[in-house]
Amino acid sequence: MHLDWSILLGPSGGLLVQGARVTVQLAALALVLALALGFLFGVLRWSAIRPLKPICWIYVEFCRNTPPLVQILFWYFSATVILPPAAILFLRDYGFQFAAATFALGIYHSGFIAEIVRGGLNAIPRGQYEAAQAIGLSFPQTVRSILIPQLLRIISPMLVSEAVSLTKNTSLALAIGVTEITYQARFIDYVSFRGVEALTAVTGFYLVLCLGIASTGHLLQRVLSRHRRELA
């Protein structure tokens, strides 16, 4: 087979660039949602608020034990039943497929992040929490001022791995028509039969992006460790 790399410099290359932009946006928004929900449910599951523990357990196990592709399809096709008509019309104006994929990936990975957070909190001596309560700090103040700084240092490697996993899972959004980079590569294959060239470019893009995320995470971990040594 003769490979023609010049197609990446023409309109096909433009499609891949456009798809790369959508991929980055999808990964960033889904990661923000996953971190917010993951920290919330992780802290609540670790806390002593007993009525919330069964709810958090059901949420985490639902997220972790259903495939991400199934969740993407579920939220895409069930949104018309769950959401009111006004919300459906609003999302359609701003990209219904993109919103469904963002929500599904955020929900899926938040379950794993919640367990990472809970495990990190369990690694912090419980006496620090009890001492904070003894001097009059509220639960939110204790979490924000005492637990979170230590927690980030402990769980940062695992959060980086989860961010990389989420970024790779954005390729599943092509199943509902999100025009991310993998979708564009498939479209190029349909139109020009140059799928090998397009998918090679997509592979390189994901490799560079995920290595960039991992490198940023390692740098953040070094900064947190240095800050801890300075405080000590």
C-alpha closest to that of 112 among 53, 147, 169, 65: 65
Q: Please report, for residues 104, 122, 193, 221, the alpha-carbon distance to residue 147 in angstroms, rounded to integers and kept in the order given.
A: 29, 10, 54, 17
- For residue range 113-122, list pLDDT tens digits in order: 999 999 998 8
User: What is the dihedral sign for C-alpha 40, 43, 49, 50?
Assistant: positive
Q: Quote the CA–CA distance of 218 and 162 in Å, as a whole number.
A: 13
Residues in the chain with pLDDT < 70? 1, 226-232
pLDDT in tens, 129-173: 778 878 888 878 887 778 888 888 889 989 999 999 999 999 999
Alpha helix (H) ranges present in 47-137? 53-64, 68-82, 85-93, 96-123, 126-134
For residues 170 and 108, the answer to whether their CB atoms sit within 8 Å is no
pLDDT reported for residue 229:
56
Q: What per-residue confidence (pLDDT) applies to 231? A: 45
Q: What is the pTM of this model?
A: 0.89
Kindly state the tokens that stand for 119.
């495990």
Q: Which domains does the chain have, with CATH numbers?
A: 5-231 (1.10.3720.10)
